[in-house]
Amino acid sequence: MIIEIDFNSDEAIYIQLRNQIVMGIAKEELQSGESLPSVRQMADYLGVNMHTVNKAYGMLRQEGYLTLDRRKGAVVSVQTKEKSQEVEEMNLALRMTIAQAICKEISKDEMHHIINQLYDEIMNIQED
């Protein structure tokens, strides 16, 4: 998996790193049990401060995407909560996106189309 940081983006570097790792897991580019580079290695590779990588890894650990092991480092290990709790957290995360869509006059049908298209893209589902 190749991680690319946009240093001109308004999005914080640790968020970009976190998002790309989550996307890599979703696309199965990163497998459960796979070790990520150490904080130092990742920081050197990306040309960022070690604290930035540490913050991203810590966030991923807290969110249940990684476990941190003294011997293996950061290891992909998606921990899921009860389905109802996962759905509630997703509901909260999407609430602002939907509010923004309404403000920008994006219809419910357009939102459904966007979500379906993105879901298929991430899951690598080809349309016939």
Per-residue burial over 9-42, b if 16 or more Cβ lie within 10 Å, else e, is: eeeebbebbbebbbebbeeeebeeeeebeebeeb
- pLDDT over threshold 90, residue 127: no
pLDDT tens digits, 58-103: 999 999 999 988 888 899 999 888 888 889 989 998 999 999 999 9
What pTM was computed for the model? 0.82
- pLDDT over threshold 60, residue 33: yes
Give pLDDT, residue 72.
Answer: 87
Give pLDDT, residue 20.
Answer: 97
Helix ranges, 4-126 (H): 13-26, 39-46, 50-62, 83-103, 108-122
- pLDDT over threshold 70, residue 128: no
Give pLDDT, residue 94.
Answer: 94
Contact 74, 66 (CB under 8 A): yes
How far apart CA 117 and CA 96 sit, in angstroms, is 20
Contact 7, 49 (CB under 8 A): no
pLDDT band at 124 (very low <50, low <70, confident <90, very high): confident
Over the chain, what is the mean pLDDT? 93
